[in-house]
Amino acid sequence: MSKKWTVLAVPVISVLLGLLAGAIIMIASGNNPAAGYMALWNGAFGDSFYTGETLRQMTPYIFAGLAVAFAFRTGLFNIGVEGQLLVGWLASVWVGVAFVDLPKVIHLPLAISAGALAGALWGFIPGFLKARLRVHEVIVTIMMNYTALHVTNHFIRNVISDGSDATDVVNETASLRSPFLENITDFSSLHNGIYLAVIAAIIMWFMLEKTTLGYELRAVGYNQHASEYAGMNVNRNIILSMVISGAFAGIGGSMQGLGTFGNMFINSGFSGIGFDGIAVALLGGNTAIGVVLAALLFGALKVGSLNMPIESGVPNELVEIVIALIIFFVASSYMITWLLSRFKKKEAK
């Protein structure tokens, strides 16, 4: 019972600590923290438009968080969500632009599947290298992020368009835009992807907790030797785990390409969503419901912070620092609980 309590308490406390530290910095730099946080709240949930924007921002965070959490639960550290997201983004936009006259029921799923497939392929490579050659997935996935960034930029400029900085907008039949959601949120950019994100969270929970595949994947994550002894194919499971994780990340990219932006453009640097996904997964305790809640928080912080300079005069940079502090406390609290559990384990021996 006390264990369940800590599972909930640790992330909540770390968020509060981050906000507190942010408040101290605001005071130190001569700003009013109450006004600052009020502006943050208003910017995130102040009216239906802002709420819509927050939910829209939350959508790719859910996918990125699920991708990291899924790999983590099966014993792998997928740092490559950013890259998987970028290739997924490109693939679904490409499909969205390339096909005309397809009915929506075919075109949209096709475009999303393309994103999932591209992300899965980007996850397959480090998974395969880990399974066959024992190359550590962290190193390969970091490298694959840069590869993804430059490959997608190259494709946008030289393959899909003629030297342009962005692709065409995807056809209506591949778009996630929802007039209904836009209407009720005062024409925010909220799109149908939010439904898919929630469904994806349920799928991840079901896959890990309820299927034989999840049983195997988690067993391999905990103890490869015992899994091999029990007749499971350890290498296949490692690859599969990275493929599924990559597919989640790839669909996260589809959300950007088919929903938020409607196209893809040259990125000079990373979108950051994949990396924030690591924080989302950690804050959410690597569970499906936790990821959804953490993604909501991150979405609110990202969107709400835009309002802070306007309404309370807190400079943009400070907002970034506050967000960074929250991530820091989340990460360090995670380290603390990890250290505590390690310590307890040793003692028990």
Partner 1 sequence: MDYVIEMLGIRKEFNGFVANDDITLQLAKGEIHALLGENGAGKSTLMNVLFGLYQPEAGEIRVNGQNVLITNPNKANDLGIGMVHQHFMLVDTFTVTENIVLGNEPKKFGTVNMKQAEQKVRELSEQYGLAVDPTAKIADISVGMQQRVEILKTLYRGAEILIFDEPTAVLTPQEIKELIQIMRALIKEGKSIILITHKLKEIMEVCDRVTVIRKGKGIGTVNVSETNPNHLASLMVGRDVTFTTEKADAVPEQNVLEIRGLSVNDSRGVQAVRDLDLNVRAGEIVGICGVDGNGQTELIEAITGLRKVSSGAVTLNGKNITSYKPRKVAESGVAHIPQDRHKHGLVLDYPIGVNMVLQTYYQKPFSKAGIMNYKEVYKKANTLIEEFDVRTPSETTLARALSGGNQQKAIIGREVDRDPDLLIAAQPTRGLDVGAIEFIHRRLIEQRDKGKAVLLLSFELDEIMNVSDRIAVIYEGQIVAVVDPKETTEQELGLLMAGSKKGAGERV
| Residue 233 C-beta: closest distance to partner 1, Å | 8
Among 136, 210, 236, 342, binds partner 1 (CB under 8 A): 210
Q: Does 228 bind partner 1 (CB under 8 A)?
A: yes
- Candidate residues 30, 103, 179, 231; the one interacting with partner 1 per rule CB under 8 A: 231
Q: Does 13 bind partner 1 (CB under 8 A)?
A: no
Considering only 229, 268, 269, 317, the residue that binds partner 1 (CB under 8 A) is 229
Distance between CA atoms of residues 328 and 125, nearest Å: 30
Q: Which residue has the tokens 């790999």?
A: 71
- Say how far apart CA 79 and CA 274 lie, in whole Å: 8
Of 139-147, 205-213, 267-275, 316-324, the segment contacting partner 1 by CB under 8 A is: 205-213
Q: What is the DSSP letter of 185?
A: T
Place of tokens 């000079």: 268
Q: Is 29 in the site for partner 1 (CB under 8 A)?
A: no
Alpha-carbon distance of 84 to 95, in angstroms, equals: 17
Q: Which is nearer to partner 1, 219 or 326 (CB)?
A: 219
302 binding partner 1? (CB under 8 A): no
Residues 18 and 13: their CA atoms lie apart, in Å, by 9
Single out the residue of 39, 156, 219, 239 in contact with partner 1 (rule: CB under 8 A): 219
Least distance CB 211 / partner 1 (angstroms): 5
Shorter beta-carbon distance to partner 1: residue 191 or 218: 218
Q: What are phi and psi of 161, to 5 degrees?
A: -120, 175
CA 21 → CA 8, 121, 171, 312, 328, distances in Å? 21, 41, 46, 18, 11
Collapsing DSSP to helix, strand or coil, 46 comes out as: coil
Q: Does 226 bind partner 1 (CB under 8 A)?
A: yes
Contacts of 130 (CB under 8 A, 6+ apart): 76, 136, 137, 140, 238, 239, 242
Rounded to a whole number, what is the distance in angstroms from the first to the last CA of the chain? 23
According to CB under 8 A, which one of 65, 80, 123, 214 is a site residue for partner 1? 214
Residue 34's Cβ-count burial label (10 Å; 0-12, 13-18, 19+) is: exposed
Q: Does the protein bind partner 1 through residue 268 (CB under 8 A)?
A: no
Binding partner 1 by CB under 8 A: which of 230, 289, 339, 340?
230
5 touches partner 1 (CB under 8 A) = no
Given candidates 6, 183, 223, 332, which one binds partner 1 under the rule CB under 8 A?
A: 223
- 203 scored as a contact of partner 1 (CB under 8 A): no
- The CB-of-258 to partner 1 minimum distance in angstroms stands at 30
Site membership for partner 1, residue 338 (CB under 8 A): no
**Binding-site member from 17, 232, 266, 324 for partner 1 (CB under 8 A):** 232
Other beta carbons within 10 angstroms of residue 26's beta carbon come to 23
Q: Which is nearer to partner 1, 103 or 231 (CB)?
A: 231
- Among 231, 256, 240, which Cα is nearest to 93's? 256
231: left (phi over 0), alpha (psi -120 to 50) or beta: left
Q: How many residues bind partner 1 (CB under 8 A)?
A: 22
From CA 152, how far away is CA 160, in angstroms rounded?
10
Q: Is 227 in the site for partner 1 (CB under 8 A)?
A: yes
Segment interacting with partner 1, rule: CB under 8 A, options 64-72, 188-196, 215-223, 286-294: 215-223
Residues that bind partner 1 (CB under 8 A): 210-216, 218-219, 222-223, 225-232, 345, 347, 349
